[in-house]
Chain A
Amino acid sequence: MNMNCEKVKSLLSAYLDSELSSHEMRQIRLHLIDCETCKSEYESLRTTKDILGMLDSPSLPREFWPELRDRIKSQPIPKSYSNLFMKLIIPAAAMVILAILPFVMATHTRASKDFISTKPNSIEPYVREYIISELDRPFSDKTSLGFVAAGQAVTMYSSNLFELYDGYSEPNDTIPASTRTEKQTQPKAFQPVMFVSPK
Chain B
Amino acid sequence: MLNTQAIANARYRETNIEAFEELVRTYDNKLYRVALRLTGNPEEAKDLAQEALFRAYRGFNKFKMGTSFERWLFRIASNLYIDKLRKHGKYRFESLDEPIPTKDGYVQKTLPDLTGNPAEIAELNELTDKIQAALQSLPLNYRMAVVLYDLEGFSYEEISGILDCAIGTVRSRIHRGRRLLRKKLAPYVYQGTEIGVG
Contact = CB atoms under 8 A, between A and B. Distances in A.
Interface residues of A, number: 37
A19 B159 CA distance: 13
A58 B178 contact: no
A51 B15 contact: no
Contacts of A191: none
Nearest to A46: B198
A102 interface: no
Contact of A43 (B49, B155, B174, B198): B198
A72 interface: yes
Interface of B: 14-15, 17, 20-21, 28-29, 32-33, 36-37, 42, 46, 49-50, 53-54, 57-58, 61, 127-128, 131-132, 135, 146, 149-151, 155-156, 171, 174-175, 178-179, 181-182, 185, 188-190, 192, 195, 197-198
Interface in A12-37: 12-14, 17, 19
A2 interface: no
| Chain B interface mostly | helix
Nearest to B49: A64
A110 B186 CA distance: 93
Contacts of B190: 44, 47
Nearest to A13: B175
Contact of B151 (A11, A19, A52, A65): A52
Contacts of A53: 150-151
Contacts of A12: 175
B150 A72 contact: no
A199 B21 CA distance: 72
Given A13-B175, A69-B21, 5 more contacts: A48-B178, A51-B192, A55-B132, A71-B54, A72-B57
Contact of B32 (A17, A64, A69, A76): A64
Interface in A43-90: 43-61, 64-65, 67-69, 71-73, 76-77, 83
Given A58-B42, A64-B28, A51 B50 contact: no
- Residue among A17, A55, A71, A83 with max Cβ neighbours from chain B (10 Å): A55
Contacts of B46: 61, 64
Contact of B156 (A19, A43, A64, A72): A19
Contact of A58 (B32, B50, B155, B181): B32
Contacts of A13: 171, 174-175, 178
Nearest to A43: B198
A44 B188 CA distance: 10
Contacts of A58: 32-33, 36, 42
B32 A19 contact: no
A143 interface: no
Contact of B189 (A19, A51, A60, A77): A51
Nearest to A68: B50
Contacts of A72: 17, 20, 54, 57
